[in-house]
Amino acid sequence: MQQIIKSSNLSNDVEKIIKNIRHDKLFIVTDEQTHVHCLPLLEMVPSLRETVEIVIPAGDTHKTLENLSKVWQMLTLNGATRHSLLVNLGGGMVTDLGGFAAATFKRGIKYINIPTTLLGAVDAAVGGKTGINFEGFKNEIGAFYPSDYVIISANFFRTLDQRAILSGYAEMLKHALIHSAADWEKLLLFPLSDIDYKQLNELVFRSVGIKRGIVEKDPYEKNIRKALNLGHTTGHSFESFAISSDTPVPHGYAVAWGMIVELYLSHRICNFPKEKLLKTVRFIQEHYGAFPITCDHYETLYDIAGHDKKNVGKHINFTLLSEIGNVQIDQTTSKELFFEALDFYRDSVGL
């Protein structure tokens, strides 16, 4: 079972956990950003002084087979064995790719995730999903392979700009929507323009707890874990479309826009309350702006959604809500209603 550590003393906690896992050699995966901004926060960790660092390019567009191969190559060249330990220090791209490298090297080695972004902390680092993008599709190749530990520290959140904070906050909003109205209200009221990082860390730990509770019930996404897909079927369509157009967008922003579409579908199919739909949409519109699409893009977005791993047969599967905290998995819709929801999205964000 994945252990989630809310760190109050980063160096001490990292050292203690590394010593707690028996290993021969130690490796750390960073990207070009976390190498500069985050690795120095761990310079007081004695165990990391003899580690081999593997640096990959930053950004989700680099979550590729080529960079995965680079990690495998560095592990091989530096004598890694199946008893070696890998530390992933970075956002979702690093924990996804590093986790998949750990899952596949020597048929699986132990690893630790230290998420350095809010998005990584509340989403990618927890739950055991690992993978890379392939042939233009998000997370097309991967495996379920959880890290032994996830270390969450607000020290890293202070290094983030507003855009990176908002990207992670969208996943927190999703967790609240699938869990309880009290969590949802709390997130809508949190002052994102004047952040109290101690309070943010409490909200993050709460959000991670919601996700972990779901993952433990359904580690391989056969049933209730699909609740975590709210906003993601459409969100991944926006994200893949943006990458193919050479205008990549942050994952959390795509999920926020995807939630507008899927909460509208929730209202139309599952009677999700209109006032809660509009209140959530207003929050997203105020903080996330808009991803520009026109009617001409609807067919492409529908085709991308049709390629989603969560689909069965020809039907596009959505996770919808009948109420906050009341999840309806495996919902399908007509192409016409999906296009209607895209119309609602464009009206909501002022396109």
- Is the model's pLDDT at 309 over the cut of 70? no
pTM of the model: 0.88
Q: Can you tell me the distance from the alpha carbon of 208 to that of 27, in angstroms, rounded to the nearest whole number?
A: 26
- The neighbour count for residue 216, using CB atoms within 10 Å, is 12
Higher per-residue pLDDT: 202 or 169: 169
Res 82: pLDDT: 97
> Across residues 210-225, what is the average pLDDT?
91
Higher per-residue pLDDT: 272 or 59: 272
User: What is the fold, at CATH topology level, of the domain defined by 166-349?
Assistant: Dehydroquinate synthase-like, alpha domain (1.20.1090)
Q: Can you tell me the distance from the alpha carbon of 220 to that of 228, in angstroms, rounded to the nearest whole number?
A: 12
> Across residues 281-299, what is the average pLDDT?
96
CATH architecture of 3-157: 3-Layer(aba) Sandwich (3.40)
- Is the model's pLDDT at 308 over the cut of 80? no
- Is the model's pLDDT at 351 over the cut of 90? no
**Least confident segment among 17-31, 186-200, 300-314, 315-329:** 300-314
- Is the model's pLDDT at 310 over the cut of 70? no
Res. 259 pLDDT band, cuts 50 70 90:
very high
> Across residues 116-130, what is the average pLDDT?
91
Res. 67 pLDDT band, cuts 50 70 90:
very high
Greatest Cα-to-Cα distance within the chain, rounded to the nearest angstrom: 59
Q: Can you tell me the distance from the alpha carbon of 17 to that of 111, in angstroms, rounded to the nearest whole number?
A: 11
Res. 243 pLDDT band, cuts 50 70 90:
confident
> Across residues 56-81, what is the average pLDDT?
96
**Least confident segment among 59-68, 163-172, 303-312:** 303-312
Residue-averaged pLDDT of the chain: 94
Res. 314 pLDDT band, cuts 50 70 90:
low
Res 38: pLDDT: 95
Q: What sign results for the dihedral spanned by CA atoms 30, 34, 40, 41?
A: negative
- Please give the structure tokens belonging to residue 287: 């903080």
- CA 79-90-34 angle, to 5 degrees, is 90
Residues 159 and 134 sit within 8 Å (Cβ to Cβ): no
- Is the model's pLDDT at 177 over the cut of 70? yes
> Across residues 204-212, what is the average pLDDT?
93
| Chain segment 16-33, per-residue pLDDT in tens | 999 999 999 999 999 999
Domain boundaries of the chain, sorted by first residue: 3-157, 166-349
